Amino acid sequence: MFLKKLVPIIICTFYSFPSFAQLPQDSRRAGGIAVIPLTANTTQVFYEQNPVLITQEQGQRYAVFGIPLSTPLGTVTLTTNANPIQIDIKPYAYAEQRLTVKNQDYVNPNQEQLDRYAREAKEQNDIYSSFNPSTWTTFPNFIRPTAGKFSNSFGRKRFFNGEERAPHSGLDIPAPVGQKVIAPADGIVVQTGNYFFNGNTVLVDHGQGLISMFCHLSKINVEKGQHIRQGEQLGLVGNTGRVTGAHLHWGMSLNNARVDPQLFIK
Ligand SMILES: [Zn+2]
């Protein structure tokens, strides 16, 4: 009786943070992804003047922003057609890796090789900074491009024969030469070629600056300009380019930032 008077009616509302069915995982660190709900009047988002991917899920629109690996801790500001958006970059401890590469050319390339690499890097950078319309309205669900264990290798600081080089910008999946590599989502093959460090490589554009890369292939089965469907074979695992063994190097780029491919896999 007495208690009844005192205890107010409690309405329990269980609010859970939306678990995305298709959007990548939100992980606000260098090399991570920020999945940002947008207000109704925010229709365009930019990072350093470049457009950021926008999509929707369950009636809510989101900007999906790739955080470059070189981003320092602190705040990153995205501009929009409405109010700017601020993102807090959290610390994240990437591992270190010390590798011994027998072919010294891959550690200290000569001038000719450096020139070749500069040409290739520009070619790839032009692709990464492109922004083509997407054919999807909801974010594509990604599947694994090849069978095998994901080594936790994205973002690793690397030392080749003791000399520090750029952090690892993709995910390595050790697999035997000749194993099938498939497209993890629908897209357009925007480049194929043999590159100095990356070996035989395929780049697939999934729209709105979302681009995947597959390196060290022993065989390429697709051509530039070709539409590829999720699950279709694009090549075979190999050991071409700078490698210490056969594996697939799978890279993902968003708004020209290389991000952790694991964030796309459910
Ligand atoms: Zn790799």
Q: Of the residues 38, 69, 89, which one is the last residue of a structural domain?
A: 89
Residue 125 pLDDT: 93
Give the CATH number for residue 76. 2.60.40.1590
CA of 162 from ligand 1 middle (Å) equals 18
CA of 13 from ligand 1 middle (Å) equals 46
CA of 168 from ligand 1 middle (Å) equals 6
Q: Phi/psi zone of residue 40: left (φ > 0), alpha (ψ -120 to 50 degrees), beta?
A: alpha
CA of 171 from ligand 1 middle (Å) equals 6
CA of 44 from ligand 1 middle (Å) equals 33
CA of 202 from ligand 1 middle (Å) equals 14
CA of 247 from ligand 1 middle (Å) equals 8
If asked whether residues 75 and 110 sit together in one domain, one would say no
If asked whether residues 84 and 130 sit together in one domain, one would say no
**Torsion 116-120-125-130 (CA) sign:** positive
CA of 37 from ligand 1 middle (Å) equals 32
User: Does any domain span residue 4?
Assistant: no
Question: Which backbone phi and psi does 179 adopt, to 5 degrees?
Answer: -70, 140
If asked whether residues 120 and 73 sit together in one domain, one would say no
Distance of CA 168 to the CA centre of its chain: 12
| Residue segments in the chain with a per-residue pLDDT below the cut of 70 | 1-19, 106-107
pLDDT in tens, 147-197: 999 877 899 988 878 888 889 999 999 999 999 999 999 999 999 999 998
User: Does any domain span residue 247?
Assistant: yes
For the chain, what percent of residues have pLDDT higher than 90?
A: 73
If asked whether residues 198 and 236 sit together in one domain, one would say yes
How far is residue 139's CA from residue 25's CA, in Å, rounded to a whole number? 12
Number of domains in the chain: 2
User: Does any domain span residue 1?
Assistant: no
- Give the H or E element holding residue 116: helix 111-128
CA of 115 from ligand 1 middle (Å) equals 22
Residue 157 pLDDT: 87
User: Does any domain span residue 152?
Assistant: yes
If asked whether residues 30 and 142 sit together in one domain, one would say no
* Residue 231, SS3 per DSSP: coil
User: Does any domain span residue 110?
Assistant: yes
Strands 163-165 and 157-160: antiparallel
Distance of CA 183 to the CA centre of its chain: 14
CA of 243 from ligand 1 middle (Å) equals 8
If asked whether residues 60 and 184 sit together in one domain, one would say no
* Residue 195, SS3 per DSSP: strand
CB 156 within 8 A of CB 97: yes
If asked whether residues 62 and 147 sit together in one domain, one would say no
Residue 18 pLDDT: 53
Q: Counting Cβ atoms within 10 Å, is residue 22 exposed (0-12), middle (13-18) or buried (19+)?
A: middle
Q: Phi/psi zone of residue 199: left (φ > 0), alpha (ψ -120 to 50 degrees), beta?
A: left
If asked whether residues 52 and 70 sit together in one domain, one would say yes
* Residue 120, SS3 per DSSP: helix
If asked whether residues 251 and 120 sit together in one domain, one would say yes
CA of 174 from ligand 1 middle (Å) equals 10
pLDDT in tens, 46-60: 999 899 999 999 999
Residue 262 pLDDT: 96
User: Does any domain span residue 15?
Assistant: yes
Residue 12 pLDDT: 38
Range of the domain at 175: 96-264
CA of 109 from ligand 1 middle (Å) equals 18
CA of 125 from ligand 1 middle (Å) equals 17
Residue 14 pLDDT: 44
Give the CATH number for residue 196. 2.70.70.10
Strands 96-99 and 157-160: parallel
CA of 18 from ligand 1 middle (Å) equals 32
Q: Of the residues 89, 116, 135, which one is the last residue of a structural domain?
A: 89
If asked whether residues 174 and 52 sit together in one domain, one would say no
